[in-house]
Structure 1
Amino acid sequence: MKGKFFLFSVILLNTLFIGHSRAESIHEKCLKAQDYQGCVNALSKMDDKNKKNIFNIFKPNKLSSCIRDLKQIRENESNFNIYTQRLGELNDESYNLACESILAVDKKYNVFSDFKKTCFLTNYHAFLVSNDNLVKKKFYSPRNISNYCDCYGKNYSKSLSWFNSDNKKIGSSCAIKEMYTFKNAGYRYYDPEFLLGVFHNRDNTWDYALDDSSVKQKMIRNKYGRYLTFFGKTNNPFTGDYIPAKPGYIDCDWGGSGSAYYDRDYGSGSWSSGGSCYGEEGTDEIVIPDGVDKRFYKYTLDCVDLTFDRKGDRVNYAGGAMKGWMKIGNDPTAVMAADIYCPIIKRLSRN
């Protein structure tokens, strides 16, 4: 027994940074083993699959380092004063979840800026206090948050607080772009669960698409900064018609003209007859069904009034009238464009 304890002491002295409680646990488990040192090595490997042997357990703990960094950032960042007033003070779970997510994306923990770390922390704290099960279940993945933070860091105004209305709009823009939509073959589409949860729309998610590359500022009344133009796909319902049956008819004039005089002994005069008929055949009822056009349109969107116009969105089957300007709530594609691009309209290229 003394020999085994002496051997364990040697191991402790030769590994300057060993965790005491962890080593003590391994020591107790190996006291009765025939091969004490072999037991220590084996249990050390089992205890941490990411470490190759017992000496590796003394490497710096990235999770602990991350949590310390985030707490220091929280102390130095004045924006947190407004943030915690509105969403509550951050707790240990917020720091742990944020750092676990950071390390899931940045395994070496040497890429993220302080801003991006802060962005992870605030988003996962908001995740914890949120009561929106759809959002929590589906959209708060480390990769989604990383993309969101990259987008927000690129666009937000550093001179304004996080809770400034302009920055909040940009945050909403980045959320729609990076978390609630996806790109396929150059076009942006809604996540199906988001489309159903927000718009209560059971149409196919592929029915609504935005060509990101086509979004530009449009000059109206010699000014930029208010209107967008872009190509988007949507569903446009149009009305049909009903034409009732019409009975046929015929009208005849049998004619007849002239005069005559007759008495018992004498008669004179003349008479002619003739005539014609005219009319129309009857028609059956005609039902022209309504329908839905599923196609791309060229949009113009007003970022102030939140209204839009689509070229070619017919009102009825005949196509003689178009729908004109409408509120964006009538079209999920218009909502997508407004939510993503209106907050950053001044950064867009001009038409």
Structure 2
Amino acid sequence: MSWPATALAEVVVVPVPSPYSYDSATLRQLNLQGGWGRYIGFIGHSVIEWPAVAAQFNAGNPGTVRCHENRCWRDGYIAPSLSGGTPAGSLRHYFNYQLDCRDQTFDRIGDVRLPGNYQRGWQPVLNDPVALAVARDWCPRISELSKG
């Protein structure tokens, strides 16, 4: 198929939105340990990726055959087994964040349903681009945020 000579080609670039963002309207100070001015709460969108975990094969133990008179039995037998691994994956999701401006750590509420040995709970803001951006932009001016 050929195109007419009068047709002009136009390249249209389709922007891909960043998978990392936070809703500035949800930023607020939190009172987690009896005082204001340390913690920030907000809703952020993040991508969490985890590696595959290989399945583990256990060869078991054939045990020992023991006999006494006309009766024999196997002693110490353990059947072979295979414990399944988990495939690599990722999760794009909105999370409720709690950020500690003093310790530069965050807790991403709702990440406990991830498989494998992925780190959960309080962790350094360097582990998440959303937490890092909020810490950088809002910890120095936390007093500007509403309490709640």
Distance in 2 (alpha carbons) for counterparts of 1:285 and 1:222 = 46
Q: Which residue of 1 aligns with 2:147?
A: 350
Give the TM-score taking structure 2 as reference length.
Answer: 0.66
Q: Which residue number in structure 2 is paired with residue 333 of structure 1?
A: 130
Q: What is the rounded CA distance, in whole Å, between the counterparts of 1:244 and 1:335 in structure 2? A: 36
Q: Answer 1 or 2: higher relative contact order, Cα 8 Å, separation at least 6.
A: 2
User: Cα 1:244–1:347, aligned 2, differ >3 Å: closer, same or farther?
Assistant: closer
Separation in structure 2 between the aligned mates of residue 306 and residue 242 of structure 1, nearest angstrom: 33
**Cα deviation, residue 314, structure 1:** 4.7
Counting only pairs closer than 5 Å after superposition, residues 103-114 of structure 1 correspond to structure 2 as none
Is residue 33 of structure 2 the alignment partner of residue 221 of structure 1?
A: yes
Q: How does 1:150-165 map to 2 (within 5 A)?
A: none
Tell me the distance in 2 between the aligned counterparts of 1:276 and 1:231. Answer: 63
Per the alignment, residue 234 of structure 1 pairs with 46
Shift of 1:230: 0.9
Structure 1 residue aligned with 2:59? 247
- Quickly say closer, same or farther: Cα 1:226–1:293, change in 2 above 3 A: same
* Deviation (angstroms), 1:232: 0.9
209-218 or 333-342, larger mean C-alpha shift: 333-342
Task: Name the one with the larger strand percent.
Answer: 2
The CA distance in 1 between the partners of 2:51 and 2:112, in whole Å, is 9
Q: How many residues align?
A: 132
For residue 97 of structure 2, the aligned residue among 254, 279, 299 is: 299
Task: Normalising by structure 1, report the TM-score.
Answer: 0.32
Residues 350, 250 of structure 1: CA spacing in aligned structure 2 closer, same or farther, 3 A cutoff?
A: same
* CA distance 1:341–1:321, shift in 2 (3 Å): closer
Q: 1:221 to 1:284 in 2, by over 3 A?
A: closer
What are structure 1's unaligned runs of at least 5 residues?
1-191, 193-203, 257-272
Which consecutive unaligned segments of at least 5 residues does structure 2 have?
1-14
The alignment status of 1:281 with 2:93, answered yes or no, reads no
User: Does the aligned pair in 2 maintain the 1:237–1:293 contact within 8 Å?
Assistant: yes
Alpha-carbon offset, residue 239 of structure 1 = 4.5
Paired residue secondary structure (1:296): strand
- The structure in which a higher percent of residues are helix is 1
Change (3 A) 1:222 1:334: same
The structure-2 alpha-carbon separation of the partners of 1:307 and 1:322, relative to structure 1 and needing over 3 Å to count, comes to closer
C-alpha contact 1:315 1:321 (8 A) present in aligned 2: no
How far apart, in 2, do the equivalents of 1:205 and 1:335 lie? 19
Q: Identity percentage over the alignment?
A: 25
Q: Give the aligned partner of residue 8 of structure 2.
A: none
Larger Rg: 1
Distance 1:298 1:319 in 2: 21
Is this contact kept in 1: 2:44–2:94, CA < 8 A?
yes
Q: 1:211 aligns with which of 20, 23, 42?
A: 23
Residues 1-351 of structure 1: pairs in structure 2 closer than 5 A: 205-248=17-60, 249=62, 251-256=64-69, 273-277=70-74, 279-284=77-82, 286-314=84-112, 317-318=115-116, 322-326=120-124, 328-351=125-148
Amino acid at match of 2:40: L
* Contact 1:235 1:292 (8 Å CA) reproduced: yes
Q: Is the 8 A contact 2:52 2:86 kept in 1?
A: yes
The RMSD of aligned alpha carbons is: 3.1
